[in-house]
Each structure stands twice: as structure tokens, then as C-alpha cells.
Structure 1
Amino acid sequence: MGFYEFSDYSKLTDTELAALLRSGDRLAFTEIYERYKSLLHRHAYKWTKDRDDAKDIIHEVFSNLWTKRETLSYSANLGPFLYAAVRNRIFNLLSHQRIVSTYIASVQQLIDQGEYVTDHALRERELRLIIDKEIAVLPKKMQAVFKLSRNESFSHREIAEKLDLSEQTVRKHIQHALKILRVKLDMFILLFLLLAFRI
């Protein structure tokens, strides 16, 4: 395949772009990015309901596409490949959010039940202190929303009424809090699961 001027890249098929990308052609990568970024972002946002999360997912997908371009199996099927990559990251994100949410809500209950041996209880208390410390450094409004949701089991509507916020704002605060905690606490969550549930 010969050399293409940048202005001609938009005329190339996905198969041609894939071949150029595999050889390290940055202009081909740019064309793929421009061709798919908006479609993929809309797809990611539809599931995450968070523009920052959607943006991060798209960035990760295209970064991975470039760094692993020589080994990834995308050939002529760029579209399905990219959609699958976005979908996998969405599932990972939602899974992490559920783990963080469930973990924070349940650790104190597990400790109170006293069903674990002393060393497990001590580890759980240490992890709870770490979690509480991370929650304490969240922005004040986000912290208040998060505590009402996770500690008091308030609904979004109840939190909105109590703090004079919209339900959408409450939802955003919780999503952002989970995103921050997910990054900081993944290691501790894994440790807890390994020790407490003997995975």
C-alpha cells in the first residue's frame, strides 16, 4: 500500500487503516480516532451517565489501540473491535463501582457481627479506618451526600430534599465519590476480599 496524504486518509476503508495502523502510521491512527471517537463516547456515556468516565474510557481504548497495535486482533473489523473494547471497560467500571459501594456499606456490619477471627476483625477495622480517612478528604458537599447515601441509606430524593440539591446533583456527587474511592481503595478491597471471604 502506498503513501497517503493526510487529506486522503478519510477515504480509506477500515481495512486499509488497520493495515497502516499496524505498521505504525500515526495519521491512520488519527483518522481512526476521528472516525470513531464520537460514536464510542456516546455509547460509553449511555451506560456510565458520566462524561468524565466516558472520556476516560475512550482515552484508555485508543491508548491501548496504539500501544498494542502490532498484536491486537482488529484487522478489518475496527468498529466491532472498538465497541467491544469500550464495552469491556464499561463493565469493569460498573463492577468496580458496585464493589466499592457494597464494600463500604458492609464492612462495619461484618465487624459488628463478630463472625471472623480476631486477626480478620483487626484487618477489617484497619481497612475501615482507611476508608473513613479517604471519605473525610472528599469535598464537603460530596462527603455529606455520600455519607447520607451509604451510612444512612437515604434515597437520592431524600438526600436532595435534605441538602436542598437536585437529584441529578446528588447522583453526580455519588458517582464522583465512587470514582475517587475506586482509584484509591482497589488494593484494599482486594485485600479484604482475599482475607474476609477466603477467595
Structure 2
Amino acid sequence: MDVKESKLIDMLIEGRKSAFEQLYYSYSNRVFNLSFFLLKDTGWSEDVVQEVFVKLWENRTSLQRNQNIWAYLYVMTRRHALNKLRSVRRSNACFERLWMQFSEPEDSLHNAIAAKELNENIKRLLGLLPLQQRTVFSLSRLEGFSHQEIAEQLNISRNTVKNHIVQAVKLLRNKILHQNLFLLIVIFSF
């Protein structure tokens, strides 16, 4: 350590702002560069520079006359940069938890509402089918029975099962198409 720096530390300990300013101009770029190396963010690095030099001023009376000021600033810079990283990590984790709390209920509520609406639409559309078509269609599409199993269960031929399903699909497709066409007309007519 040179005599000039030792005098600066003495003046800083006494509370002279000129000594603080000289130390700031001598070391602030090095503090910034070290901080940026650790944080990879200019804004956070600028914050660390401010925090380190505020801490230096606050703790000036505890400095030693022959202390290596760069080693002191280096340790403080690393500590503040690592604390900043921990703080950011905690903030991100808190944000993620908060986001999950807000998005999960909304998603599950939205899904529940959509499922209920879909179920009501299916029931309403199935109610439009003749009884035999509704029964065959439900057994096939909703319960997963094969055409042969449905034919045996209802005591009808496989071709009759196939015809009921074709007719049901055609009727449902037309009803859905008309509903969507009606919605499109209503939406785009305003």
C-alpha cells in the first residue's frame, strides 16, 4: 500500500468527503466490473456499486490505517453481488409461486366451466337424436363399445348399428354447423 492511499484512508476515517470521493473515483469502475462479472446485469451492478460505497462510508471508522482498501472493497462487492443474486432468486421463486396460485385456480375453474358447458352441449345435442340413434351413438362414441358388441346388446344387425351411427353423426354435424354459423352471423353482423 502506498503512502497516498494510507493518507486517504486516514482522511476517510476522519469523515472527509474529499477522501471518499477520491476513493470512489479510483475504485468504482473496478467494483462495477467485478459486480458485472458476477451478476451479468448493468443495473444490478450499478446498485452494488452504490451499496458498497455507502457501506464504506458508514463503516469508515472501523477501517485500519494500513488496510488494503481494494481487498476490503472486493470482499464487500462479492458479498453484495451474491446477496443480490439470492434476492433475485427468492423474488423469482416467490413470483413463480404467486403466479401458480393465481393461474391454477383460474385454469381449473376455466376447465371445470368448459367441461360443464361441453357436457351440457353433448346432452342437449344427443337429446335431438331419435331414441335408437341416441342409444347406439352413446354406446359407440361415449362408452367405447364395438359395432358387434352394440349389435349383440341391442339385438340388431351390425349394418343397422353402422347406419344409426352414420345418421347420428350427420344430424349432429348439421346441428353444430348451423349453431356455429348462427354464432358467426350474430358476431359479424354488429
Higher relative contact order (CA 8 A, sep 6+): 1
- Say which one has the larger Rg: 2
Structure having the higher helix fraction is 2
